[in-house]
Amino acid sequence: MTQLYKNYIAGEWVAGGSEIENRNPSDLSDVIGLYAQATSDQLEQALDQARVAQAEWAATGIEKKYNVLMAIGTEMMTRAEELGTLLSREEGKPLVEGKGEVYRAGQFFTYYAAESLRQMGDTADSTRENIEIDVRREALGVVGIISPWNFPTATASWKIAPALCYGNAVLWKPANATPASAVALTEIIAKQDIPKGLFSLVMGAGSEVGQRLVKSPKVDGISFTGSVPVGKGIARAAIENLTKIQMEMGSKNALAVMDDADVDLAVAMAAGGAFGGTGQKCTASSRLIVHSAIHDEFVSKLLVATEAMKVGHALEAGTQIGPVVSQQQLTENMAYVELGKSEGAELLCGGQRLEMPTEGYYMAPGLFINSNNDMRINREEMFAPLTAVIKVDSYDEALTTLNDTNFGLTAGIMTQNLARATHFRRNAKSGCVMVNLATAGTDYHVPFGGRGDSSYGPREQGSYAAEFYTVVKTTYISSGTPM
Ligand code: NDP
């Protein structure tokens, strides 16, 4: 019998109003489990208990917070193999990436364990005599976290860990496409000695549980990662209650490959950046802006590298590209392949659905050439193992093309010219810049976020996360009349 996994609400594991089935995208005959969908009453109960628990947690000493976060992180890192296998089984990314993600997620918790000991404020003299000023941060309160399926454990962890570190209560609504990873992380958090209801898992559809969460006046902040249309809807709903928001919504990242680049390195960075995670990364290199002087050499080598990538079952040794996450994503990807062709780009390889020994959502990585920056395949986030080459004749043209986008999460350049790299670092209109690196691949101790449609609100990760998860309090202290 298929196992039913429950929500964790106000400190108890509870069945929901209904369930959804979770299937392995590498093998549709593999049912991972049934996952409870939270009811509106359960959501209210979680919100009410979170308010009580948050007050207790905010008053809890920093060493206790350190111990809790460190225990969560350490367990995740220790169990990275097991939990990474589960993640890859339900999301479809190759096992090495699944394990890496869980380990990285653990590092977010250990990083914020240390950060919980490092909560320094400021002091200042008043402009008035005998008055001193103390500026410190306090918890925001009850935070709703809405996370996507493409990094089901890491994205949630880089939100949950700072939320708890800075003294908040959390209600987590994970993506319904990846509930198993959510239950696994919740089981680890639920083991900790924390106030009852400090952390609740509320699985359910975004349009139902997610919407109720963002519309609730009982929530002080919403941290969201997902698509632009959903993000805009969340912003509209949140503003009704003046709820603080932080949103990361994808991108259309470009890697500029200059005439002085190490071409073999550029090919490796382009292939990894475009097709890692089956292209389902907000940092994916989905535009390759290539100087005409090395265009042909770059394209012929990238073609070889793309065709050599092994597509297969996420848990099979040697797989470099797993299936895409769902039938809906596959259908959208195929539509983008047809769109690119109809717009006049040339599909050099891939882009077709693949048959494998197990039935799943497999497709061959696709490489477009002869594309231009006005095409929709170069303007919309495809979230697919697809990338497109745009030929340019100069660095200036490359930079102008790269910046001509509504998004701005990451931008990369391949060059051996220091002056050019420096100019690029200063003039690329994006939140993260990569020099001689793929556009994907970031660290856990520094800020992450973008410009334009990519992000809204304060940055995530590193000590910058405090900006969202805390409020600043300025206290004036009079020492009375001078002695
Ligand atoms: P969504 O934006 O629909 O989903 C992201 C999260 O938001 C999920 O937990 C989802 O829940 C939830 N959600 C959906 N609708 C609402 C709503 N009305 N109110 C509150 N929460 C909601 O992204 P998809 O998963 O559908 O992916 C679609 C596209 O979004 C991708 O193809 C890609 O372009 C982009 N995307 C970008 C990501 C990034 O890293 N920036 C991550 C994921 C997607 P549920 O899915 O359970 O219904």
Question: Is residue 282 annotated as a catalytic residue, yes or no?
Answer: yes
Best probe residue, ligand 1, of 20, 230, 455 (max atoms within 8 Å of C-beta): 230
pLDDT tens digits, one per residue of 246-280: 999 989 999 999 999 999 999 999 999 999 999 99
Residue 294 DSSP label: T
Pairing, β 18-24 against β 199-201: unpaired
Neighbours of 23 (CB within 10 A): 17
Q: In this structure, is residue 230 part of a structural domain?
A: yes
Number of helices followed by number of strands (H, E) in the chain: 14, 21
CATH at residue 413: 3.40.309.10
Q: Using alpha carbons only, what angle is made at residue 435 by residues 296 and 422, rounded to the nearest 5 degrees?
A: 110
| Å from CA of 226 to ligand 1 middle | 4
Note the pLDDT tens digit of each residue in 151-172.
Answer: 999 999 999 999 999 999 999 9
User: In which domain, by residue range, is 413 found?
Assistant: 253-435
**CATH classification at residue 48:** 3.40.605.10
* Rounded to 5°, angle at Cα 399 from 395 and 400: 115
Are residues 84 and 21 located together in one domain of the fold? yes
Q: What is the pLDDT of residues 339-391, one digit of tens each?
A: 999 999 999 999 999 999 999 999 999 999 999 999 999 999 999 999 999 99
| Contact indicator for 139, 168 with CB cutoff of 8 Å | yes
**Which ligand 1 atom lies nearest to the CA of residue 233?**
18
Nearest CA among 392, 418, 445, 459 for reference residue 255? 392
Backbone angles phi, psi at 166, to 5 degrees: -90, 10
Closest residue by Cα to atom 46, ligand 1, is 175
Neighbours of 349 (CB within 10 A): 16
Counting the structural domains of the chain, the total is 2
Same domain, 379 and 303: yes
* Cβ of 345 below 6 Å from ligand 1: no
Query: Residue 234: CB within 6 Å of ligand 1?
Result: yes
Structure confidence at residue 250 (pLDDT) = 86
Tokens 């494998």 label which residue? 356
pLDDT, position 1: 85
Question: What average pLDDT does this structure show over 316-334?
Answer: 97
Residue 42 domain-assigned (yes or no): yes
Res 103: pLDDT: 98
Mean pLDDT (the chain, rounded) = 97
Provide the pLDDT for residue 62. Answer: 97
Q: In terms of domains, do 237 and 268 share one? A: no
Write 128-133 long-range contacts (CB < 8 A, 24+).
Answer: 129/482, 130/478, 130/479, 130/480, 130/481, 130/482, 131/476, 131/477, 131/478, 131/479, 132/476, 132/477, 132/479, 133/474, 133/475, 133/476, 133/477
Q: Is the CB of 204 under 6 A from ligand 1?
A: no
Q: How far is the CA of 173 from the centre of ligand 1 (A)?
A: 11
Ligand 1 atom closest to the Cα of residue 146 is 9
Q: What percent of the chain has pLDDT over 70?
A: 99
**Is there a single domain that holds both residue 96 and residue 182?**
yes
Q: Which atom of ligand 1 is nearest to the CA of 237?
A: 19
**Is residue 153 a part of any domain in this protein?**
yes
Q: Is 205 in the pocket of ligand 1 (CB under 6 A)?
A: yes
Between the CA of 179 and the centroid of ligand 1 the distance, in Å, is 14
> What is the pLDDT at residue 474?
98
Asked, for residue 480, whether it belongs to a domain, the answer is no
CA of 316 to the centre of ligand 1 (A): 28
Flag whether pLDDT at 483 surpasses 70: no
**Which residue out of 75, 248, 381, 460 is catalytically annotated?**
248
Any ligand 1 atom below 6 A from CB of 57 = no
pLDDT given at position 141 = 98
Residue 398 to residue 415: CA distance in whole angstroms = 12
Q: Is 170 helix (H, G, I), strand (E, B) or coil?
A: strand
Both 287 and 409 in one domain: the answer is yes
Same domain assignment for residues 276 and 351: yes
Q: What whole-number percentage of the chain has pLDDT above 90?
A: 98
138 is catalytic: no
Confidence at 119, pLDDT banded by 50, 70, 90: confident
Residue 49 lies in a domain: yes
In terms of domains, do 224 and 201 share one? Answer: yes
| pLDDT value of position 482 | 57
Q: pLDDT-based confidence at 100, cuts 50/70/90? A: very high
250 ligand 1 Cβ < 6 A: yes
**From 75, 91, 282, 381, the catalytic residue:** 282
What's the burial of 235, exposed, middle or buried (CB within 10 Å: 0-12/13-18/19+)?
A: middle
Same domain, 271 and 207: no
In this structure, the answer to whether residues 105 and 227 fall within a common structural domain is yes
Residue 450 beta carbon below 6 angstroms from any ligand 1 atom: no
pLDDT at 185 over 60: yes
Is any atom of ligand 1 closer than 6 Å to the C-beta of 210?
yes
| Beta bridge partners of residue 7, listed in sequence order | 14
Rounded to the nearest whole angstrom, what is the distance from the C-alpha of residue 265 to the centroid of ligand 1?
33
Does residue 174 share a domain with residue 77? yes
C-beta of 38 in contact with ligand 1 (< 6 A): no
- Let me know whether 399 and 457 are in one domain: no
Q: Is the CB of 207 under 6 A from ligand 1?
A: yes
In a domain, 479, yes or no: no
Cα(148) to ligand 1 centroid in Å equals 6
Ligand 1 neighbourhood includes 248 CB (under 6 angstroms): yes
Q: Whose CA is nearest to atom 12 of ligand 1?
A: 206
Residue of the CA atom closest to atom 42 of ligand 1 = 226
Residue nearest to atom 35 of ligand 1 (CA): 227
Q: Are residues 334 and 450 in the same domain?
A: no
Ligand 1 closest atom vs CA 173:
9
Residue 480: predicted pLDDT: 80
User: Is 202 domain-assigned?
Assistant: yes
In a domain, 397, yes or no: yes
